[in-house]
Amino acid sequence: MKNDTTGTALLVIAIVASLLVALFILALGTTGTMMGGGGMMGGDAGYGFSGTWLAILAVAVIVLIVSIVLLVARLSGNPESGAPSAVIPNIATQPVAMTPPEENRQTTDDHMISRLLDGDERNLYQMIASAGGSILQKDIVSKKVFSKAKVTRLLDKLEERELIVRERYGATNRIRIAK
C-alpha cells in the first residue's frame, strides 16, 4: 500500500511540475523575453520561442500527458497499467451471495413459482404449500374449491411442470411439493 501511495504522489508531482514548466515557458514566450537575436521571430506570429525553449515545452507537455494518463489508470484500477486501484475497490474478487439463506429459500421459491402460475394453478399450489408442502388429494377435493376432475387436471399440469410429486396413498394420492 505504501508503494501505491508513493507512486500516486510521484505522478501528481510530475503533473504539477510539468504543468508549471509549460505555463512558465508559455508566459515567457507571450511577453517576448525569449526572442532570439534582433527581435526577428522567424515567421512565428507573435511568439518568440527559440528551438531550445520549444523542446523544453514539448517535453513538459509530454510528461504532463503521460503522467495524467498513468494517474487516471492507477486511480481507476486499470489492470493493464499494472497498478492496483487506490480509490475504487476491485469488486470482481469479492464473493456475492446469489442465493437466499437456506431457511428463506423455500418461501422465496414458492413465491416465485406461484407468480409464474395462472390463477387456478397458483391457488392449488398455494393450498399445498400452506398445508406444509404435503396434502392428500382427497383433502383438496373436500375443501370444495375445485371439482374432483378439476383437481386432477390441475395436479397433472403442476406435475408436468415438475412442481409437485404424486405418490399413491391408499385409495388417494399424497401430493407434495417437489424439492
Q: Could you write out the DSSP letters of every residue in 82-137?
A: T---SSS--GGGS----S--HHHHHHHHHHHHHHHS-HHHHHHHHHHHHTTSEEEH
Number of structural domains, the chain?
2
Residue 98 within a domain: no
Residues 150-162 pLDDT 10s: 999 999 999 998 8
Cell numbers at residue 149, please? 376432475
Give the global pTM. Answer: 0.40
Q: Are residues 150 and 123 in the same domain?
A: yes
Residues 100-132 pLDDT 10s: 555 555 566 667 776 788 888 988 998 998 999
Residue 67 within a domain: yes
Q: Which residue, among 165, 142, 129, 126, has the nearest Cα to 173 in the 3D structure?
A: 165
Domain boundary among 90, 116, 141: 90
Reduced to 3 DSSP states, what percent helix, strand and coil does the chain have, rounded to the nearest 5? 60, 10, 30
Residue 99 within a domain: no
Q: Which residue, among 67, 55, 54, 51, has the nearest Cα to 18 in the 3D structure?
A: 67
Residue 117 within a domain: yes
Strand partners, 176: 134, 165
Cell numbers at residue 132, please? 406444509
Predicted pLDDT of residue 47:
55
What is the Cα–Cα distance from 22 to 14, expressed in whole angstroms? 12
Q: Are residues 78 and 137 in the same domain?
A: no
**81 is in which domain, residue-wise?**
2-90
Q: E strand or H helix at 165, and its extent?
A: strand 164-169
Q: Are residues 136 and 168 in the same domain?
A: yes
Residue 23 within a domain: yes
